[in-house]
Chains A and B, each alone.
Chain A
Amino acid sequence: MHMADALLSPEVGGTMIAVSAAAVGYAVKKISKDGLDEKKIPLMGVMGAFVFAGQMINFTIPGTGSSGHIGGGVLLAALLGPYPALIALASVLLIQCLFFADGGLLAYGCNVFNMGVCTCLLAYLWIYKPIARRGVDTKNVFFASVAAVVLGLQLGAFCVVLETYLSGVAELPFKAFLFLMQPIHLAIGLVEGIVTSAVLCFVYSARPELLVSTVQETKLTKGLSTKKVAAALLVLTALVGGGLSLFASAYPDGLEWSMEGVAGTAELERDGPVHKTMGGMVGVTAFMPDYSFAGDEEGSSVGTATAGIVGSVITLALTGGLGFAVGALRRK
C-alpha cells in the first residue's frame, strides 16, 4: 500500500507531510510526558527492525494459491503502545523509502499516515484498546486484533484513494478506484488480522505481561480524547490542504509564484539574443502545457507535439551521452 511520489501533487504530499509530522510530534510529546523509559529506545529500534523483517516473510493463504505478509502497525501498537509504535513504524517506512524505493520522499507523509497513524493510533485506540481493556485473554486479543487490522487497512486504503484522487495526477475515476481498493483490502485485512491475532495470542501464551502491561500503560491524558486528536488532525489537514490549494489556484504553480517573486515574471524571459535569433519561437505552445494545446491553426498542435517529442528524444540522448562521457572520463 506504499504510495509513490509520481502519483502525488505537491499540495497533497506537502499537506500529508505536515499532518504526519504533527502526529509524530504528538507521539513524541506523549512518550516524553509519560517519561520515556530508556529501555524502550532499543526495544523500539529492534521491534522496528522486526516489523521490517516480518513484512518480508510470506505466508501461504490456504485455498487461494496466493501469499500475504503482515503490515505490523496493530502488532507493534499492541506490543509497544500506540505512540512508540507510530515512531517505530515511521522509521521502518523511511528506511523502506530510502533503501528499497518503497514509497517516496514526498509520499512519506502519506505513507506514515495511511500505514502508521491509521493503524497504530486510530485503529488501536478506537478498536483494539477498548476491546482488550475488557480483559486481556485469548478471545479478546483475537477479536480486538482482527477488527483493528481490518479497520486500519480500510482507513488506509480509503486515504490512498482520496490522496490519489485529490492529487489528480493519475486519471483514475474516484468511484471505480474506491470500489477496487476497499474490497481487496477487506480480504487482505481479514487474512492479516487473523495472522496478527495468532502472533499476539502466541506472545500472550508465552509472555502475557507484554500485552497486559501495554494495555494498562497507555492511559489517555485527561481532557485529551482520541476523538479530539483525530479532529485536530482533520482540521490541520483542512487548513494546510486548503491553504496549499488556495495558493495553487491563485498561482497555478507555487514555483511559478516564487519565480515571479525572484525574477518579476512567472516565465523565464525569452527575449534574449538567442531567442530573437530563433524568432518565432517565443510563445510557442509547450508539449501539453497545462493539459491543452494553444495552437489554433490546423496542424499546428501536431507540429508542436512533434517538436516536443523530437526535442525530448534529443534531450534524453544528449544528457545520457553527457553522463556516458563523464563516466568515461572518471574511469580514465
Chain B
Amino acid sequence: MLYRASAGINSLESLAAMDSPLHRVHPMAKLLTTLAYVFAVVSFPSQNVSGLTPFFFYPALAMPLASVPYRPLTRRLFAALPFALMGGIGSLISARETAFTLGSVPVTYGMLSFTSIMLKTFFLVFAVLILIATTPFTELVHQLAHLGIPPVVCLQFSMTYRYLSVLLLEASAMLTAYSLRSPGQNGVKMKDMGSFLGQLILRSFDRAGNVYRAMQCRGFQGVYWSSKNKNPRGGDVIYIALFLSVLLFLRFFNLSRFIGELVRQ
C-alpha cells in the first residue's frame, strides 16, 4: 500500500511532465477554471440530474486532449466513493417519495439525489485529477503564492510533497522488515504500533536535521526561490474565456432537456 501510494504520486508526476495542448496552458488558467468548474457543478440543486450531465464535457475532452490515460485516474475515484456513497445511499433510504413514474417504474427523489451525487463525485474527482495530471505540483504551489497564500504555507506544501515518497519508502522498508519477522499477519499489531511509529518519528526527525543541513549548504535562509515564472499568453486568456462561457451556458441552459425535447418532437 505504501509502495503503491509512492508509485501513484510518481505516475501523476510523470503525467504532469508530458506535453500536450492542455499541459501548455498556464497553471493559473487551469487552477482558476478548475475552481470555476467545481463551483458550477456543486451549485446544482441536489436532484437536478439532466442539467448536470453536459458537464461530462470536461473529463471527456480534457482526458484525450492531454493524453492522460483513464486507468490511474479511475483508481483514485474509488477513494472518493465511500463518503459520497454514504450520502447517496442515505438519500435513497430517506427520500422515498415518488417524483414520477417511468412506465410502471417509480422514480423517487432519493434515486435522483443518488444519481446527482454520484455524477458530481465523478466530475469533481476527475476535474481535480486532470488539473494535477497536467500541471506539476511545484508550479501549482507557485500559483498559490501568487494568489496570496503565505510563503510559509506554500513552502510547507512543497516540502511535504518532496519528502512524501522518501518517507513512504522508509515506512515501506520498515513494514517489509516487520512482515518478514511476523509471517501470516496482516498489518502491524496494535501493541507494536507505539514502537513502530515511534521509530519512524525518530528517523523522520533525524532526516529533517539532514535535510536542513543540506538546505543550509545550498544557501537556504527561510525562503525557497523558484526560477520558473511563466507569463500568461493570449491563448491562456482565450482558454479561460472559452471555458467560463461554456460553464455559464451549461449552468443556465439545460442542454440535455433541450436535446431530449428535440428528439421527442
**Pick the contact of A320 from B60, B255, B256 — CB < 8 Å?**
B60
A91 and B157: CB pair below 8 A?
yes
Inter-chain contacts of B125 with A (CB < 8 A): 101, 104
Query: What is the number of contacts between chain A and chain B, taking CB atoms within 8 Å?
Result: 417
CB of A16 within 8 A of chain B? no
Task: Determine which of B87, B124, B153, B252 lies in contact with A267 in the assembled complex, contact meaning CB atoms within 8 Å.
Answer: B252
A62 to B67, CA, bound (A): 47
Least CB distance from A93 to B in Å reads 10
A85 to B262, CA, bound (A): 57
Interface flag for B189 (CB, 8 Å): yes
Across the interface, do A105 and B38 meet the contact criterion of CB distance under 8 Å?
yes
Q: Are A91 and B260 in contact (CB under 8 A)?
A: no
Contacts of B254 in A (CB 8 A): 286-287, 289, 308, 311
Q: Which chain B residues border A230 with CB–CB below 8 Å?
A: none
Category for how many chain A residues contact B: 35 or more
B153 and A171 contact, CB distance less than 8 A: no
Please determine whether B168 and A52 come into contact, CB atoms closer than 8 angstroms.
yes
Is A157 interfacial (CB-CB < 8 Å)? no
B214 to chain A, nearest CB (A): 9
Q: How far is the CB of B51 from chain A (nearest CB, A)?
A: 6
Known: A56-B171, A98-B128. A50 touches B200 (CB 8 A): yes
Q: Is the CB of B261 within 8 A of A99?
A: no
A162-177 contact mask (Cβ, 8 Å, vs B): 1 or 0 = 0010001111110011
Q: How far, in whole Å, are A305 and B53 apart by their CA atoms in the complex? A: 14
Instruction: State the Cβ distance, B2 to closest chain A Cβ, in Å.
Output: 5
Asked whether A315 lies within 8 Å of B208 as measured between CB atoms, the reply is: no
**Contact status A70-B201, CB under 8 Å:** no
Q: A42 is contacted by which of B109, B164, B212 (Cβ under 8 Å)?
A: B212
Q: Is the CB of B61 within 8 A of A323?
A: yes
Which listed residue, A38, A49, A301, touches B167 by the CB 8 Å rule? A49
A316-B53 contact, Cβ under 8 Å, with A10-B43, A59-B187: yes
Q: Which residues from chain A contact B43 at a C-beta distance below 8 Å?
A: 9-10, 253-255
Given contacts A49-B160, A206-B198, A306-B260, contact A312 B88 (CB under 8 A): no
Report the minimal beta-carbon distance from B92 to chain A, rounded to whole angstroms: 9
Q: Is the CB of B159 within 8 A of A45?
A: yes
B101 within 8 A of A: yes
Known pairs A28-B152, A56-B1, A79-B201; A106 contacts B193 (CB<8 A): no
Asked whether any CB of chain A lies closer than 8 Å to the CB of B28, the reply is no
- 22 A-B pairs with C-beta separation under 8 A: A2-B83, A28-B152, A38-B220, A45-B163, A45-B208, A48-B160, A49-B166, A56-B1, A59-B190, A101-B129, A169-B113, A171-B110, A173-B94, A199-B197, A267-B253, A278-B261, A278-B262, A291-B47, A304-B257, A308-B260, A311-B255, A314-B263
Q: Can you name 12 extra interface pairs (CB under 8 A) apart from A172-B87, A199-B198, A255-B43?
A: A4-B121, A6-B117, A42-B208, A49-B204, A56-B1, A203-B198, A254-B43, A278-B261, A289-B48, A291-B46, A305-B102, A308-B256
